[in-house]
Structure 1
Amino acid sequence: MEVFKVVEIGEMVPAFEEEMLIVLFGQMAPPELRAICVVHDYQAKEDNVLKVGTKLQLGAQEYTITKVGDAANKNFRELGHVSVYFRNGENDILPGAVIAEPVIFPKLQVGDRLKIIND
């Protein structure tokens, strides 16, 4: 299990509830993207931590990843960056994204713990 925490929440993050999207980014997030990101302190220890079936806990809500884009793990390992879409059904996926369910927008605050759980 990987545990890390939210260090900053961009002021535009709540606006993405309509899209059911959270953009995670490591602490090196560029200034022009910080407004739309949940910035965290994750330091990648291994490759390919994001897989179909991985549990992702964001605040109090636990999700299960159902699809992983081709570049999601590389971006997450190098930049701490991944777009998490909360959807179900057959959806196209962007290379740097994952799709997770249930379709519930996470309520996050600075200091919340985030977890990646691979059994």
Structure 2
Amino acid sequence: MQTIYQTTITRIGDFAREALSDQMLITFREGAPQDIQDYCFIHQHGVTEGELHRGACMELANVRYPVTAVGEVAMQNLRELGHITLRFDGCEHAEFPGSVHVKGITPDDIPLGSILKFID
């Protein structure tokens, strides 16, 4: 298996966990503006190898989720800003150009230091 992207959660914004109740997780790289950081899981920015696509897997805190849809600018946002909006709803078509949809149960919490990666 090839790792497309891997990073570690280094900070959790004050309101970031609230999105989990809406089956959503929002990430941004370290150095994002403070008002954005408050709503995001902040991570060390990693290098992308290849393209994220439907059929790949996301692994978060050692749980795997199949990727069901990837928005048309999701990889560009991830590459340039470390920003991605993950939806745990299994949709087969991306709701927004920057969203990535996965199939599986939304985590109740994501601990600091968790590893997020996409693998092919």
Counterpart secondary structure, 1:94? coil
1:24 aligns with 2:27: yes
- What is the count of residue pairs matched by the alignment? 117
For 2:15 and 2:69, the matched residues in 1 are separated by: 25
- For structure 1, the residue ranges without an aligned partner over 5 or more in a row are none
The residue aligned with 2:37 is: 34
**Where do residues 1-119 of structure 1 align in structure 2 (5 Å cutoff)?**
1=3, 2-48=5-51, 50-89=52-91, 93-105=95-107, 107-118=109-120
Percent identical residues: 26
Q: How high is the TM-score relative to the length of structure 2?
A: 0.86
Specify every segment of 5 or more residues in structure 2 that has no aligned partner in the other structure, as ranges.
Answer: none
Q: Is the 8 A contact 2:91 2:101 kept in 1?
A: no
1:79-98 CA-partner distances (Å, limit 9, x unpaired): 11010000034565101111
TM-score by length of 1: 0.87
CA RMSD of aligned residues (A): 1.8
Give deviations 1:60-95, integer Å, cap 9, x for gaps: 321111000011010000011010000034565101
CA contact (8 A) 2:6 2:46 kept: no
**CA gap 1:91/1:51 in 2 versus in 1, 3 angstroms:** closer
